[in-house]
Structure 1
């Protein structure tokens, strides 16, 4: 974790553990705010861009959160086949995409919208739903579903 004291790191780990419990219960995906908080803790402070995926069961319980692609300060290269392979290996029925913007601005770019559409289209072949795509930055986040971009 970047530049956090030992106590701050421990507090973040405890918060992440508690949030994982919340995200694993029956109401987890009924609360976009809880998902935003979890993703913000996992990604917002990263100095480089990371593209991550939350793999979910058919009932939208969290199977696994995976940081899959690391980029530079303003981009990461996403391989759809890697996402599809991992979703199939985990027997995921749905997923939530996420990435951070180290710039501090959680606004989707046209490239963000294109990769989201490409992933969604590719995974439909396997009957895997893309529920949302979140962009997180310190102090702010953006949900594609809430903005009608999905």
Structure 2
């Protein structure tokens, strides 16, 4: 008689065939998702393995292949589908899950709502920019009561950087009738530390927007898990 942990259905092992107290889903329901490892969370998402590879083994293989959950969740369609056991359907599931998480993070910062705290702004910008593969420069445009008018991606660049034109930034701010703006961009390297070029650009934008009486409140640099405020650093 086979042990429950080695039962297969059509040569593909599922999470429902493990001992109950070892199943990731049951552990999540009993103790909360925070106790699960990345492998267990991914196994719940995948639900089944492939022929010759149980779901936990597949989950470990994918984390090794992509380096992390982040690497897996943010890879391209082609990069995702080239791995045995994955395909377009699973890729669509990943993208839907990412977008749902992004929208949950976005909810506190909706059009017409006031910004409550720097940390809320950080969370919002991290959800928008933290998974981008290329550098994106964006603006969060606000009215005179710091209510959100619009979040707008202004410039996109290569992995090395984005060209930002102050004249275009001023035009967008005037089009949106903004009284203030918070700028943000990501560092695809994952290191959020602002560069000298970031500091110089911020000062040029602040000067250009000051000519039309629009305040630059901050410029935030988004890395992998960290968002650094130039205003808090005294670099404005």
Query: Corresponding residue for 1:118?
Result: 204
Larger RCO (alpha carbons 8 Å, 6+ apart): 1
In the superposition, the TM-score normalised over structure 1's length comes to 0.91
Instruction: Name the CA distance, whole Å, in 1 between partners of 2:220 and 2:108.
Output: 17
Residue of 107, 111, 128 corresponding to 1:18: 107
Structure number, greater radius of gyration: 2
Instruction: Name the CA distance, whole Å, in 1 between partners of 2:103 and 2:154.
Output: 23
Residue by residue, what CA displacement relative to the aligned partner does 1:82-120 show, whole Å, maximum 9, x if unpaired?
110011111100000000000010011000000000000
Residue by residue, what CA displacement relative to the aligned partner does 1:52-85 show, whole Å, maximum 9, x if unpaired?
0011101011100011111111211001111100
Unaligned 5+ residue runs, structure 1?
none
Q: CA deviation at 1:15?
A: 1.1
- Asked if structure 2 preserves the Cα contact closer than 8 Å seen for 1:74 and 1:103, the reply is no
- Asked if structure 1 preserves the Cα contact closer than 8 Å seen for 2:137 and 2:155, the reply is yes
Residue of 159, 173, 182 corresponding to 1:73: 159
In the superposition, the TM-score normalised over structure 2's length comes to 0.59
Give the strand-richer structure, 1 or 2: 1
| SS class of match (2:119) | helix
Instruction: Name the CA distance, whole Å, in 2 between partners of 1:112 and 1:86.
Output: 20
Instruction: Name the CA distance, whole Å, in 1 between partners of 2:229 and 2:171.
Output: 25
Query: Corresponding residue for 2:12?
Result: none
- Asked if structure 2 preserves the Cα contact closer than 8 Å seen for 1:51 and 1:98, the reply is yes
Instruction: Name the CA distance, whole Å, in 1 between partners of 2:99 and 2:169.
Output: 30
Q: CA deviation at 1:138?
A: 1.6
Instruction: Name the CA distance, whole Å, in 1 between partners of 2:209 and 2:171.
Output: 10
- Asked if structure 1 preserves the Cα contact closer than 8 Å seen for 2:105 and 2:123, the reply is no
Q: 1:99 to 1:10 in 2, by over 3 A?
A: closer
The number of residue pairs the alignment matches comes to 147
Give the helix-richer structure, 1 or 2: 2
Q: CA deviation at 1:16?
A: 4.0
Alignment of 1:1-150 (within 5 A): 2-3=74-75, 5-21=94-110, 24-26=112-114, 28=115, 30-150=116-236
Instruction: Name the CA distance, whole Å, in 1 between partners of 2:179 and 2:118.
Output: 18
- Asked if structure 2 preserves the Cα contact closer than 8 Å seen for 1:40 and 1:141, the reply is yes
